[in-house]
Chains A and B, each alone.
Chain A
Amino acid sequence: MSKKAKNNAMSENKESQKLFALTGLFDTPDEIMHAASAASKKYRKYDVHTPYPVHGMDDAMGLGESPIGWCTLLIGTSCMLMMLGFIAWVSLVDYPLVWAGKPYFSLPGYIPILFEVTVLTGAVSTVLILFFIVSGFPNNNHPLHDTPYMQRTSDDKFGLCLEAADPNFNEADAKGLLEKMGAKNIQPVYYEKAEADAGLSLTHPAFVSFLAFVIVGVSGAAYFGLNRMVFMVPFNYMSVQGRAVAQEKNNIFKDGRSMQKPVAGTVARGLLPYPFKLDDQIKAQAEAGKYLSNPLPRTEAVFELGKTQFDSKCSACHGYYGEGDSRLNGKFPAPPTLHSKKVSEWTDANIYHVITEGQNVMPSYAKQLTRDERWAVVHYIRALQRSLKPKETDLQ
């Protein structure tokens, strides 16, 4: 509605419209100060509108202390305490973590956070209180909106607005007061019918759906914007590397695998294929005896290695001295003694073949013992045999 139309509506429908206030304009800050203090003696519901802050107006209007500060303090402090409780719960109960060698709950480190939380919640809640409680936010209508009075007071005049809702209000008295204080343009302001009927409140469906739209829109935009569109990995985990991972699909190779089979005939490092694998065990053992010999010297270290390996892997069945005195109490058939004439006459390679390939119920020990360990065990077995049947030179 244009200004002119509004003014016309005002003057035409005076009888049918409800009076909001009587307004008057003043030229100087001094005049408005005097007018405000005069009005404050008679009225409670009145307001002053000036184009810029006039210092000392609080006193002139007789305004008391604003309760807003207390709301800020109360909300800020309670949110600070809630944050403190949350931090205490996280650091003492939910996820106790030692950092920098400090106690689980170390207040000095939390003080900046508590300070920020107090300031943030205090500030935001103050704005929300001003919006929703003081200004009745969803309702953005005010009878003074768009009136010539408001246009002048936001330009170069100082306005006094005596509201009809005041119990002491009487149109003639108010007019008298304004005239006495030297006001110009004394004008009544009426509630506009459309504005008065709109009655937007917090529960109005339009406002609720608008709020829901904003909440969904903002959180959705934030979620997709931050988590999907512009998401950046804060740092790479060690498992995330630019290399092919075993068992994973890979487009580089024809078969689509990242792990390729070794070339035919490949030998692993350190591995010597054992050639004496025949169906006939006895023949294989003889073959091994013919072509192999113990590569290790008879040094103390070798005997130590042989003893360690023999004691840990062989002695359970063969006994610590190779006499076949199994420690398994008959749960597993005990092997014959290693001091028999047959074994004594075997070459080192014959024994080595049995350890490598197994014999009768004895399985292969090629997995448990490396090549050198097997040869060391052979040396140790020889030493055991010699200890029961020493040569005459040993006794000297």
Chain B
Amino acid sequence: MSSTTHAIHYEKKHLPASAGTLGWGVLIAGLAVAGASFAMDPMRAKYSSIMLFMFLAGVGICSLFMVSIEYLAGAVWSTPLRRVFEILASSLLFLPLFALPILPFMQELYLWTHKTDDILARKAAYLNQPFFLIRLALILGIWILFYKLFTGRSYKQDETRDQDLTRKNVKLSAVFIPVFGISITALSIDFLMSLEPHWFSTMFGVNFFAGSLVAALGVITITVILLNENGYLVKGIIGDHYYSLGFGMFAGCVFWTYTAFSQGMLIWYANLPEETPWFLNRWEGSWKVITIALLLVHFIGPLFGLIQRKNKRNPSRMIFMAAWVIFAHVLDLYWIVVPVFQPEGPSLRLTEFGFIAIAIGFLIVLVTQQAKKKNLVAVGDPKLQRGLAFRL
């Protein structure tokens, strides 16, 4: 409470050049490995592109989701961190690039593009390539539009300190949330669920949203803590702010488990032949190990790692748990995508690590590049002081 009386001292400091170099290095190494695998192990590279695209799409759009729910809920704890959400949401601008490697190989990746039967014929009105591309363009276009609108006003506010911009963004958030819900569901159905076009689950979209939110919060947490502990953000961001991020990750993991379990248990109970194969494929052979590992990594680990308040306020433990939940989301994507192409069992090659390196390098480059031009704290936001005074 006492800090409300203090003035905000934000001085823009430039990130060390080594961070950018590291990012470019990791990104280029990843691209080299991925490029080589397109030549040597093309199938693996192709389905890994789906995972990379969906991971970055989830992180980008859920970062924007965090921005919009801050406006919508009038949250103050996240205001000092919001610029980090906005910087990570700028990965939406590059999503078309990451979608590109998938499109030429749709015939190989998606069964519904080249085969038909009674079921697929009925789904053909939705699952056909022209409509798929229209939907993709529409979804990415809408996301980029919303990103531009939200962050444009936010950056403008740094200069003008105009409170009306916040009000406009609150109204925009009310429009964005339903659009977000529909678009992320559609994207997850298009790219992930239609890998096995005979199968369907109404829980799939919300499950992907929960996993993506957890991953986005993980990336946000690591970025915020690294920036803040090294003094690049404003003074006054403390363990209580980390606590709130950890709280989000904890809630996200439990929500993911809830949706995943609802999906699994209802299909298990009903035992219908058109629904069960998806789970049976993942419950056979060595995929069973991955399924059980997913439960432990995505639920049990975060449950006990994040339940204690002192862990959520401790920067190094939070970085560890953030990395953990990001890994959990990657494992979730792997568990959804790879069994389609490798029903015999999971296997790891350099390819997967190359694609992981692309994601890591891309996010580092994104943050360093954006940090060159922009303030790392929304200094013009009217809620900033209250946000810094936030205590549990």
- Listed in ascending order, the chain A residues whose CB lies under 8 Å from chain B are 29-30, 33, 54-56, 58-59, 65, 100-101, 108-109, 111-112
Contact = CB atoms under 8 A, between A and B. Distances in A.
A55 B269 contact: no
A100 B270 CA distance: 8
B392 A111 contact: no
Contacts of A109: 265, 268-269
Contacts of A100: 269, 271
A68 to B, nearest CB: 12
Nearest to A66: B309
A112 B269 CA distance: 13
Contacts of A59: 391
A381 B270 CA distance: 63
B392 A33 contact: no
A111 to B, nearest CB: 7
B320 interface: no
A374 to B, nearest CB: 56
B14 interface: no
A111 B265 contact: yes
A26 B297 CA distance: 49
A30 B264 contact: no
B324 to A, nearest CB: 20
A42 to B, nearest CB: 21
A33 B1 contact: yes
B contact patch SS: helix
A108 B264 contact: yes
Contacts of B390: 55
Interface of B: 1-2, 240, 261, 264-265, 268-269, 271, 308-310, 390-392
A57 to B, nearest CB: 8
A55 B390 CA distance: 8
Contact of A54 (B1, B268, B269, B271): B1
A56 B391 contact: yes
Given A33-B2, A65-B308, A55 B261 contact: no
Nearest 10 CB-CB pairs, A to B?
A: A56-B391, A55-B391, A108-B265, A108-B268, A29-B1, A30-B2, A30-B1, A55-B392, A65-B310, A33-B1
Given A109-B268, A111-B261, 8 more contacts: A30-B1, A30-B2, A33-B1, A54-B1, A65-B308, A101-B271, A108-B268, A111-B265
21 contacts: A29-B1, A30-B1, A30-B2, A33-B1, A33-B2, A55-B1, A55-B390, A55-B391, A56-B1, A56-B240, A56-B391, A65-B308, A65-B309, A100-B271, A101-B271, A108-B264, A108-B265, A108-B268, A108-B269, A109-B268, A111-B265
A30 B271 CA distance: 61
A109 B266 CA distance: 9
A243 B310 CA distance: 71
Nearest to B262: A112
A381 B240 CA distance: 106
B308 A58 contact: no
Nearest to A54: B1
A15 to B, nearest CB: 41
* A54, A59, A109, A112: most-surrounded residue (chain B CB, <10 A): A59
A111 B264 CA distance: 12
B42 to A, nearest CB: 38
A109 B1 CA distance: 49
Given A65-B310, A111-B265, A56 B392 contact: yes
B212 to A, nearest CB: 24
Contacts of B265: 108-109, 111-112
Contacts of A54: 1
Nearest to A32: B1
A100 B265 CA distance: 13
A62 B264 CA distance: 45
* A30, A56, A59, A100: most-surrounded residue (chain B CB, <10 A): A56
Contacts of A55: 1, 390-392
A28 B269 CA distance: 58
Nearest to B267: A108
Nearest to B4: A30
Contacts of B309: 65
B309 to A, nearest CB: 7
A100 B308 CA distance: 40
Contacts of B268: 108-109
Contacts of B310: 65
A58 B1 contact: no
A58 B2 CA distance: 15
A108 B390 CA distance: 41
A100 B310 CA distance: 46
Contacts of B1: 29-30, 33, 54-56
Contacts of B392: 55-56, 58
B310 to A, nearest CB: 6
A219 to B, nearest CB: 35
B267 to A, nearest CB: 10
Contacts of B264: 108
Nearest to A28: B1
